[in-house]
Chains A and B, each alone.
Chain A
């Protein structure tokens, strides 16, 4: 489990976009004015799952204002 520090002004929309557009169940956590994207890896997760997340984040960052 690791929490990636992220810069976003819309944590909730980011989480919804990851689920609705990319079918990724992942929480955006908020604590002390900071946001984190926390991913957990369990036995059924493959390296492809993390690549899928990586590509989704790349796309979101380039195509929307959800990630600075």
Chain B
């Protein structure tokens, strides 16, 4: 068992509350929050140097740290405020046409459903929400439910890595493989993934991936990322058109120019990500995290029994 008492000292979280909702919004450990505030002070100390001069190099360092953490090339990652931002950037860029289909499940995050429904409505495309039947018997069931929804009009598969309301891991690796064999790009919504379960983007090889760092990675709020495979990057328009669009002095990457230059904004949360990664390493957080998951797995069945309900998923490690 991890040392929850000493860990609690590391957080600002209200000690009078039993906080069991890290899945909605994470909490940032004190040392990471201090780095965050220090960065904000630096910005106030020399705003022009900070924002106009030094931002690209500092963002690069932060992308490198994140790239190592999620196993991706740092130039294939851009920081965004939240996963909704990433979904909107990609959704808007797909240029869906009437009759096209975006394939997904009926257990996605509501705000993402809204975004896709909006893009589909705008273009006359269809948002196909394949039903996932409960109780889920095994992961293969889910792969089949999703893949059986592919038609000649499927433009994209959008799927959560870990679902929000139902709270379990989906077989995204198998879905990626099966979809890509059929030439369908896959966008994975990994809002709950980084820092919660291991993430290796090189191995997973999705076309698009978004993850929130401010949940289980414990970074300050408003730090998330959009990953895109090299060959997909040119297709994604910036959500906010700014100096990076048609840049006068382009960097080595249009993807970075487009999505990293988004007008004046506070990038301190992004720049705090290396500190959050260091905090994890210094406190052996892989072990802490595993111990937390064991607590969940050990209690899940008895909560259901207590309330006379059946678990909607098998109580097995591949679902947690």
List residues of A whose CB falls within 8 A of some B CB: 1-7, 22-27, 29-32, 34, 36-47, 49-50, 52-54, 57-58, 61, 67
Contacts and interface: CB of A to CB of B under 8 A. Distances in A.
Interface residues of B, number: 54
B167 A2 contact: yes
20 contacts: A1-B22, A1-B23, A1-B162, A1-B192, A2-B168, A2-B320, A3-B167, A4-B304, A5-B312, A27-B24, A29-B166, A38-B21, A40-B20, A40-B22, A40-B24, A43-B7, A44-B27, A45-B295, A58-B306, A67-B307
A57 B306 CA distance: 9
Contacts of A7: 307-309
B20 A45 contact: yes
The 3 closest A-B pairs by CB, nearest first: A29-B165, A3-B167, A31-B165
B17 A25 contact: yes
B232 interface: no
A33 to B, nearest CB: 11
Task: Tell which of B167, B285, B289, B312 has the most Cβ of chain A within 10 Å.
Answer: B167
B299 A46 contact: no
B292 A43 contact: yes
Given A3-B167, A5-B312, A45-B295, A27 B21 contact: yes
Contact of A52 (B18, B21, B23): B18
Given A3-B167, A5-B311, A54-B306, A39 B20 contact: yes
B88 to A, nearest CB: 22
Given A2-B167, A7-B307, A25-B18, A41 B300 contact: no
A40 B303 contact: no
B19 A25 contact: yes
B141 interface: no
Contact of B165 (A22, A25, A30, A61): A30
Interface of B: 1-2, 4-5, 7-8, 10-11, 13, 16-24, 26-27, 106-107, 134, 162, 164-168, 192, 196, 216, 283, 285, 288-289, 292-293, 295-297, 299-300, 302-304, 306-312, 320
Given A4-B300, A36-B166, A47 B18 contact: no
A2 B20 contact: no
Given A1-B296, A25-B19, A42 B27 contact: yes
Nearest to A24: B18
Given A39-B20, A49-B18, A4 B309 contact: yes
Contacts of A54: 302-303, 306
Given A24-B20, A53-B18, A32 B8 contact: no
B221 to A, nearest CB: 15
Contacts of B297: 2
Contacts of B285: 43
Contacts of B164: 29
B277 to A, nearest CB: 15
B8 to A, nearest CB: 4
B167 A45 contact: no
Contacts of A26: 20-21
